[in-house]
Structure 1
């Protein structure tokens, strides 16, 4: 089994932050946009922690996954799956499509790309 503890630790830390945001933050900016920005970083770190995907492979997979979920929200897939009565399903899966969410996902992936290609190589030296 492949495992990179640095990426897995980042993923775990981001998961804790996402849970805290979901439970305790009820504003109009951090919860909707900050959470979306961070969730793509969480997915990316999880992929890099448990797979041999390259930076670009993991980024592409992450962005396609995030976009797919957002598009499914456009079609009300939580209701189609008859999960609308379960708050946890609504929180995790989302219930409304937003172009701003797509922008937040894109910004998160671009942030990871900048960190991976510019900052991490300098830190590793």
Structure 2
């Protein structure tokens, strides 16, 4: 494990943007629905790269994409409601409760932007 301050800074910036989207910009549906989903993929990617110097970026992004799709599938089955997570709780917010093909497209877009944005 090797700490990478560049990825850490990007992670913090994106996290602040995500918090702003969830709180201040929540009324702008396009930003909340699409930009937030794109950025969450980049956030996860940068967070992992902060601590692990993974050389195969494509495999990492593929793993992140499949993880995001898995969470989206859990939303199809409304597991947050099944486990009694009320609307507004942390678990409900993280897991979600609404399946959307558009979200999966946003995750793929986030992977694409992470890949092209991390060319060295």
Same fold (TM over 0.5): yes
Partner of 1:44: 45
Q: Whole-Å Cα distance in 2 between the matches of residues 15 and 113 of structure 1?
A: 19
Partner of 2:77: 75
- Residue by residue over 1:31-80, the C-alpha shift from the partner in whole angstroms, topping out at 9 and shown as x without a partner, is 01000010000000011111232312321221111111111101111012
Deviation of residue 86 (structure 1)?
A: 4.4
> Does 45-54 or 98-107 show the bigger shift?
45-54
Partner of 1:95: 97
Residue pair 1:48, 1:58 contacting (<8 A) in 2 also: no
Secondary structure in 1 aligned to 2:84? coil
CA RMSD of the aligned region, Å? 1.4
Partner of 1:107: 109
Residue pair 1:76, 1:96 contacting (<8 A) in 2 also: yes
Partner of 1:63: 65
> Does 98-107 or 25-34 show the bigger shift?
25-34
Q: Which runs of 5+ in 1 are unaligned?
A: none
Deviation of residue 85 (structure 1)?
A: 4.5
Q: Return the structure number with greater helix share.
A: 1
